[in-house]
Amino acid sequence: MEKDLYDLIVLGSGPGGFSAAMRAVDFGKDVLLVEKKHLGGAGIMHGAMTSKTMWELSQDYAVAASIDRGYRASGLTVDYEQVRKSVIQAAKKKQYQMLSQIETYARGKRPGGGSLTLKYGHARFVDMNTVEVDRNGSKTSYRGKNFIIATGSRPREYPGIEVDQRKIFNSDGILNLKQFPERLMIIGSGIVGCEFATIFSNFRQTEVHLLDRSHRVIPFEDDDVSDFVSRNLERNGVIIHHKASLRTIRPDEDNLQVVLDYEDGHTDVIEVDAVLISIGRVPNLDDLGLENVGLSTTQRGFLDINDFCVIDSNPNRSHIFAVGDVTGHAQLYSVAELQGRFAAKSIFRKLDFPILYDNMSTLMFFKPEVAAVGLNEKQLQARKVPYQTVYYSSELVNRTIAMRSTEGFVKVITGVDEDTKILGMRAAGPQASAFIVSIAHLINQGNSLRDVLKVSHPHPSVTEGIQECLRVFNRNSIFKPEAFPELIRVHHWTPEGGTQEGLYPKKQKK
């Protein structure tokens, strides 16, 4: 093999790119991995790793600062610079793990097939089989048999607002803060905005404002889930500005004036010390030379891939794949990683199952954490699929009562046919991120509700909430909706009749 010819060239070392590269190495292939900025991409330095580390630290502080459990910590303080240092250490630990593996599989180091080479710089297609990597003006060309575009995404810009990463931040620059701001305005009430609202309110050093253009945070979720998150953010001290839009941000000596226009016509000017812009992300596809290989983006700016992660089925371009945030699918670490592994298998003809996007699990790091899998009610109604649902509060679960952490729930959605199957679940509270996987497995396996109910959960465990929620469908739960109408809620929905509240779901066969 020629020195500059690789079986696979991967553009981007985030979760999608790195997983694809390692899977190709598994198949004995020589891989070139090209990274423009930080090894691991936004998933490590400006995304999941750093934000979740901050969340974990904030949760620890919130527990230590609590005074409702029979103990009180005295002299409790927090230093943002130390928090920042710990967050960066976590990200660097993962980066050095990746580097260690890359060096272990360096080209020519190990006998047999399979190698991984890392090059830093901006990659650009020159022709169908060549990319040029520009590192600080020094350009080198590399040839490949196959290519995967995994260049990820960046924070979306707010029109007319300049992000200077000193007072006005996005998620890429939040670690530039040197201390906790006294007052923080977060623009955007999606998952990332609500997560940072949780983090800063947990530390109790900052007055947190959250701008919500609609009347509910995380508006893509069902209203009961959105209301739950909103209510708990407010309990944590977050001031939510519903039905408001940002007109402008004006500098005022050492502070910022945030001008908000409300739906009812009035305007509010709020003085803050910092602003975090969190209104979504856009794909990194600038200057990749796509025109040199005959590829274009969709109207939304993404690369449209088929079931095999191929961008274009034209035989001349069928060796170019895309994974992760650039594809327009859910912008989740887990989705990118799964697509990356899948693309590598697709390239080297090792496929054994398709990607099931509907059943991807999602974790939302709020207080408490929220987990989701499968379809929600809004999605089912849009598809005109009849369903039934049961909401079961953690206030009835023995383990969460013992933990003194009953702010949570389990909500299961099933079909209404005779062989009822689970279509989706939403859960909040302790360990939600762990037990959501069990439901994802049941959905993927297509188990009927009757089969699932054969499993007995240990006591006392948080997952007994799932068990009782499922028993409500069969009308044989230990605690009944009639006795606890606010804690156990049931309803049906059909395209013809709409929502029918307070009715038992269809009883299952014994």
Angstrom distances, CA of residue 486 to CA of 140, 262, 430, 479, 500: 65, 32, 20, 12, 16
CATH architecture for segment(s) 5-48+84-155+282-357? 3-Layer(bba) Sandwich (3.50)
Please return the burial class of 60, using the count of CB atoms within 10 Å of its CB with bins 0-12, 13-18 and 19+: exposed
What confidence score (pLDDT) does residue 113 get?
A: 80
Average pLDDT over residues 353-363: 80
Helix residue ranges, H only, 277-365:
333-347
The arrangement of secondary structure in 368-501, i.e. its CATH architecture, is: 2-Layer Sandwich (3.30)
Residue 452: predicted pLDDT? 79
Residues 6+ apart with CB under 8 A from 137: none
Residue 409: closest CA among 368, 375, 455, 458: 368
Q: Do the two domains 168-279 and 368-501 of this chain adopt the same fold?
A: no
For the stretch 127-160, pLDDT in tens is 999 999 999 999 999 999 999 999 999 999 999 9
- Using only C-alpha atoms, what is the Rg of the chain? 25
- Give the residue among 233, 184, 187, 177 at the shortest CA–CA distance from 206: 184
- Given a cut of 80, whether residue 65 has pLDDT beyond it is yes
Nearest to 12 by CA among 467, 340, 500: 340
The per-residue pLDDT for 504 is 61
177-209 tens-digit pLDDT: 999 999 999 999 999 999 999 999 999 999 999
* pLDDT of res. 32: 97
What pLDDT is recorded for position 324?
95
* C-alpha to C-alpha distance for 74 and 84, rounded to whole angstroms: 23
What is the bridge-based pairing of β-strands 183-187 and 274-277? parallel
| Domain at 168-279: CATH code | 3.50.50.60
Give the model's pLDDT for residue 287.
95
Given pLDDT bands bounded at 50, 70 and 90, which one contains residue 246? very high
Contacts 24+ apart (CB under 8 A), 161-164: 161/246, 161/248, 161/249, 161/277, 163/277
Q: What percent of the chain has pLDDT over 70?
A: 98
Which band of pLDDT confidence, cut at 50, 70 and 90, is reported for residue 439? confident
Residue 236 and residue 210: Cα distance in Å, rounded? 12
pLDDT in tens, 399-421: 999 999 999 999 999 998 877 88
* Residue bearing tokens 């209203």: 223
398 vs 93: CA distance, rounded Å = 38
Contact 473, 451 (CB under 8 A): no
Closest CA to 464 of 490, 443, 435: 435
Write down the domain spans for the chain. Answer: 5-48+84-155+282-357, 168-279, 368-501
